[in-house]
Amino acid sequence: MDPIDLAFLEGDDIRAALRARDIGTLYRHLRRLGFSQRHLADLTGQSQSEVSEILRSRQVMNVWVIERIADGLGIPRGWLGVGYCDKEAPGEEIPADEVPEEPPGEQEVDEDVKRRVVIALTMAVALNRELPDRPELALPAEEELPPQLEMFHVHIVRAVRDQLVSLSQYYGGQGDLWTSTAKHYTRWMKAPGPEAVKLRLAAALSELHTRAGWCCYDSGRDGSGHFARALSLAHQAKDSYCIAYAACCNGVTMVRSGRPNDALKQFQLGQIHLGGFRLRSGREEDRRLPTLISYLDRNSATAYGVMGDSKSAELLLTRAHEGWEPGDAADRGLTHGGTAGVWLDLAQFDAAEASATKALRSYGENHRVPRAMTEVLLAEVYLRAGEAQGLALAHQAIEKVSTLQSFAARRERLIPLATALEARPGTDRRDLARKARQIATTPI
């Protein structure tokens, strides 16, 4: 459909309306010249109801909507003051590179129009009618920073972290969700507040970023940026636990990525840092140290096991369990599951089976991801040991992993399982190995 003839826009009154971005006056002027509401709607990409609202003096404030109206009617944007114009026209011009891009489909409307849009949509969907032609309402803008930081802001970050941990243990992955959450709450560090509160907030955010780094890895994405922010925030908070925790989790991703030497550096630096921290007792956070120290030892054993150093691996496994017992089901399961992995790397199948069985007994129903990974590990133990029940357990474990969004469960456990299946005779094992590899390599 051809745009309007610019000759229609001659005259002081209409030029003044253009300078003021008075779209209602512009539309009424064009209506007097014979343009119908439908014609204006077709030219500007608006609905007829929007045009009607503007004709009834609804103001158009959104610069993106004004640009679309100008382009649809064939009016140079500069005449409306929203872009560069090389034609003589009244009004100030805004350089084109200063105008933000339009979010697709979103339009600025007043509160009355928003209310009627939602009512119309409710009526349409409730009565199974065709959706009405309507403006796309914008989502709320990101909230402003808190005017003053308080301890409840720290509690919010920790509570959100705990909820996301539960979600990730049940489904796996969720890296995008962790990233957006970490970005949102890290903004709070810019808000004013007591120094003691800001230090605690930095520590809570460090743990949030550490978890985000791991879950990005479990989504098949690079989480190193989160680990770097976790370390910076922990340093700002002067929190040795958070420093060692970030080093530990980052090291785990390195072991799993085939870089055990780099992982050992992370674990050893974490242990060195905590060595000095042990001497400063009396802090509330000290209760977390035994668990973390044990994790550092056990993950170091994993790295040595991958490298084939059985003596160092066994020594560190022994040290990891000395004087410490896991405090909850998740810790017990992770401890025994990690230990089973070390024994499997060392081809000590009886010990691996015993530890994997303990892990499965520890996990609750909500621990779907670590439970499925341990079942795959146990199936591999049985297959490599020549046990008959290996095939049935492998089939069951593969089905469970196929429902997860966990990169670690798919790539790191299914591929070794497929190799173990291929090493045994029988077409049923080869078929199951192909299925395992297909699931492992299918993008999540």
- Tokens 């009617």 label which residue? 73
Return the pLDDT at 311: 94
The secondary element (H helix, E strand) that includes residue 407 is helix 407-407
Q: Decide if 362 is inside a domain.
A: no
Q: Decide if 431 is inside a domain.
A: no
- Which domain covers residue 66, as residue numbers? 6-107
SS3 content of the chain, % helix, strand, coil (to 5): 70, 0, 30
Return the pLDDT at 108: 53
Residue 251: how many CB atoms within 10 A of its CB?
A: 28
Q: Decide if 92 is inside a domain.
A: yes
Buried/exposed 132-143: b ≥16 CB within 10 Å, e otherwise: eebbeeeeeeee
Closest CA to 420 of 371, 384, 376: 384
CATH number for 51: 1.10.260
Tokens representing 135 are 């403006």
Return the pLDDT at 1: 60
Q: Decide if 17 is inside a domain.
A: yes
181 Cβ neighbours under 8 A, 6+ residues apart: 160, 164, 208, 212
For residues 237 and 207, the answer to whether their CB atoms sit within 8 Å is no
User: Number of structural domains, the chain?
Assistant: 2
Per-residue pLDDT tens, the chain, 444 aa: give them. 667 878 778 888 888 888 888 999 999 998 888 888 988 888 888 888 889 989 988 888 777 788 889 888 888 888 887 654 545 444 444 444 444 444 444 455 567 777 888 888 888 888 888 877 766 777 777 778 999 999 999 999 999 999 999 999 999 999 999 999 999 999 999 999 999 999 999 999 999 999 999 999 999 999 999 999 999 999 999 999 999 999 999 999 999 888 999 999 999 999 888 874 443 444 444 678 888 888 999 999 999 999 999 999 999 999 988 867 777 888 889 899 999 999 999 999 999 999 999 999 999 888 999 999 999 999 999 999 999 899 999 999 999 999 999 998 998 899 999 999 999 889 999 999 999 999 999 887
Tokens representing 211 are 């978890």
Q: What is the DSSP letter of 5?
A: P
Tokens representing 122 are 């409710």
Q: Decide if 202 is inside a domain.
A: yes
Q: Among residues 82, 107, 132, which one ends one of the domains? A: 107
Judgement on whether residues 11 and 103 belong to the same structural domain of the protein: yes
What is the reported pTM? 0.72
For residues 230 and 246, the answer to whether their CB atoms sit within 8 Å is yes
Return the pLDDT at 288: 81
Q: Among residues 184, 204, 238, which one ends one of the domains? A: 238
**Calpha distance 187→176 (Å, rounded):** 17
Judgement on whether residues 155 and 213 belong to the same structural domain of the protein: yes
Judgement on whether residues 11 and 100 belong to the same structural domain of the protein: yes
Return the pLDDT at 170: 94
Q: Decide if 38 is inside a domain.
A: yes
Q: Among residues 54, 84, 107, which one ends one of the domains? A: 107
Closest CA to 241 of 201, 287, 306: 287
pLDDT tens-place string over residues 40-86: 888 888 888 889 989 988 888 777 788 889 888 888 888 887 654 54
Closest CA to 257 of 231, 227, 229, 290: 227
Judgement on whether residues 156 and 94 belong to the same structural domain of the protein: no
For residues 341 and 377, the answer to whether their CB atoms sit within 8 Å is yes
Q: Decide if 416 is inside a domain.
A: no
For residues 409 and 399, the answer to whether their CB atoms sit within 8 Å is no
Tokens representing 358 are 């303990």
Rg of the chain's alpha carbons, rounded to an integer?
31
For residues 12 and 6, the answer to whether their CB atoms sit within 8 Å is no
Judgement on whether residues 101 and 157 belong to the same structural domain of the protein: no
**Calpha distance 109→134 (Å, rounded):** 11
Q: Decide if 83 is inside a domain.
A: yes
Judgement on whether residues 23 and 92 belong to the same structural domain of the protein: yes
Closest CA to 346 of 391, 301, 407, 387: 301
Q: Report the phi/psi class of residue 347: left, alpha or beta, with left for phi > 0 and alpha for psi in -120 to 50.
A: left
Exposure on the CB side of residue 395, measured as CA atoms within 13 A: 9
Judgement on whether residues 27 and 101 belong to the same structural domain of the protein: yes
Closest CA to 393 of 376, 410, 406: 376
